[in-house]
């Protein structure tokens, strides 16, 4: 049955795991590619063991984190260290257009699934690797996750306050945004080129090089001889610029004033407090020099406001502002996301109705969709082996008993 989606007919042998890799293959699956996720039953994708779990009970098919990263995919389990398991993987690769992995350099070669081996049996394959720091260089063998990539790529060095230690960003942004999306662009470009030329290619995406794009302005400043430092919520141009307390517990509103018109509008919304009439606050340069004092004065005014009401009043007056949301606020209380029906609910066979991120862009003709919840571990092993790879049931049963597949 046709899906009518733009990547229908593309098959991906997906060896990725943890964060960045699965989030690369997810949009391919949501746009029609047949993404077959290959795992070891004895060493599953680590995020199957990461919270949150449905009803708080851990289990390989109960992780919301895993589910959110793996919609629309199929799942098979193989023992890639067993000769028969490796042969099944190669049979699958022969029938695939893309091979993707984010293991440390050398892992796929040790498994006998490196690019040269794969190209020998499927010359036009598109083969993507996503090592942390690349396949060459003094740090090529370094292992890491989002936190360490963020540290190496400069994100942590810029996060926090100048007089305090660097702090994490609360989540691993390299895994969620730059690395998977750069990789997706590379895969789509390679597919396009193969359609034009008939040639496949090898893609190496060093996650470190992808991540450094996230601090682009600091890199530019460094190239100009400056030394960007941690600056909390400050902005070199805007003042006031930060988050200000509102009524209620731990409730805040983010406000940024970039020019005099926005300053006058802010003052008007705050009912023209007497200190705002002081002449030395009329100019942007003066406001920047007095930003700490200004923060305290504004905070004294915003405490009386509801955060949503203040943000609405300010944005209506032309001042950039937004209430500071937490996860519950984004999911359950943001009227904009609700109005756009961003959140998607899918009925997972173990977790039941579960919420997923929707696709964050709308295409007028070929928009993707979350076609299915994340697969149970090995849910498609039999179907892939027998219907796609042509294995007979007797052979499958024997290999399943040996733990090679299943």
| DSSP result, 192-229 | HHHHHHS--EEEE--HHHHHGGGGHHHHHHHHTT----
Alpha carbons 126 and 187: distance in angstroms, whole number: 7
pLDDT of 146:
80
Q: Please provide the distance, in angstroms rounded to a whole number, between the alpha carbons at the two ends of the chain.
A: 26
Residue numbers of the chain with a pLDDT score lower than 70: 1
pLDDT tens, position by position, 235-279: 999 999 999 999 999 999 999 999 999 999 999 999 999 999 877
**pLDDT at res. 251:** 97
Cis ω before 202 (30° cut-off from 0)? no
- State the pLDDT at residue 193: 98
Q: What is the DSSP string of 111-178?
A: TT-SHHHHHHH-TT-EEEE--SS-SSSTTTT----HHHHHHHTTTGGGSS-TTS-----SS-HHHHTH
Which residues are the active-site residues? Answer: 175
Q: How many CB atoms lie within 10 A of CB 52?
A: 12
> By the 8 A CB rule, do 70 and 371 touch?
no
- Give the strand pairing for 74-77 and 321-323: unpaired
> Residue 279 has what pLDDT?
72
- Sequence-ordered list of residues with C-beta below 8 angstroms from that of 269, at least 6 positions apart, any chain: 310, 313, 314, 317, 319
Q: What confidence score (pLDDT) does residue 147 get?
A: 85
Q: pLDDT per residue over 360-398, tens digit each?
A: 999 999 889 999 999 999 999 999 999 999 999 999 999
pLDDT at 1: 66
Domains of the chain: 11-216+340-402 (3.40.50.10540), 240-324 (3.30.1540.10)
């Amino acid at each position: 049955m046709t899906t009518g989606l733009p990547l229908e007919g593309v098959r991906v042998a997906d060896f990725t795991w943890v964060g960045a890799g699965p989030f690369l293959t997810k949009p391919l699956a949501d746009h029609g590619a047949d993404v077959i996720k290959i795992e070891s039953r004895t060493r599953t994708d680590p995020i199957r063991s990461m919270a949150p779990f449905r009803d708080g009970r851990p289990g390989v098919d109960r992780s919301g984190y895993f589910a959110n990263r793996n919609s629309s995919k199929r799942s098979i389990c193989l023992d890639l260290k067993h000769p028969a398991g490796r042969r099944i993987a190669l049979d699958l690769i022969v029938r695939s257009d893309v091979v993707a992995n984010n293991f440390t350099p050398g892992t796929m070669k040790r498994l006998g699934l490196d690019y040269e081996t794969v190209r020998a049996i499927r010359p036009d394959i598109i083969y993507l690797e996503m090592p942390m720091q690349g396949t060459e260089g003094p740090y090529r063998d370094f292992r890491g996750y989002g936190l360490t990539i963020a540290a190496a790529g400069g994100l942590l060095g810029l996060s926090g306050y100048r007089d305090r230690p660097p702090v994490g960003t609360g989540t691993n942004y390299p895994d969620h945004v730059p690395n998977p999306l750069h990789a997706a662009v590379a895969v789509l470009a390679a597919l396009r080129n193969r359609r034009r030329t008939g040639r496949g290619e090898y893609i190496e995406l060093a996650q470190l090089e992808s991540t450094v794009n996230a601090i682009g302005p600091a890199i530019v400043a460094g190239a100009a001889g400056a030394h960007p430092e941690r600056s909390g919520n400050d902005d070199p141009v805007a003042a006031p610029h930060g988050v200000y307390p509102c009524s209620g517990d731990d409730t805040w509103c983010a406000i940024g004033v970039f020019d005099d018109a926005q300053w006058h509008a802010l003052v008007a919304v705050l009912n023209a407090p007497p200190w705002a009439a002081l002449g030395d606050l009329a100019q942007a340069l003066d406001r920047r020099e007095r930003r700490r004092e200004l923060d305290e004065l504004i905070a004294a005014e915003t405490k009386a406001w509801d955060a949503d009401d203040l943000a609405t009043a300010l944005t209506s007056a032309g001042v950039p502002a937004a209430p500071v949301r937490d996860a519950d606020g984004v999911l359950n209380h943001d009227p904009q996301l609700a109005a756009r029906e961003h959140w998607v609910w899918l009925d997972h066979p173990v977790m039941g109705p579960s919420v997923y991120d929707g696709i964050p862009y709308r295409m007028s003709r070929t928009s993707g969709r979350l076609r299915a919840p994340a697969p149970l571990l090995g849910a498609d092993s039999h179907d892939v082996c027998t219907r796609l790879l042509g294995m007979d049931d007797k052979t499958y049963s024997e290999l399943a008993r040996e733990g090679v597949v299943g």
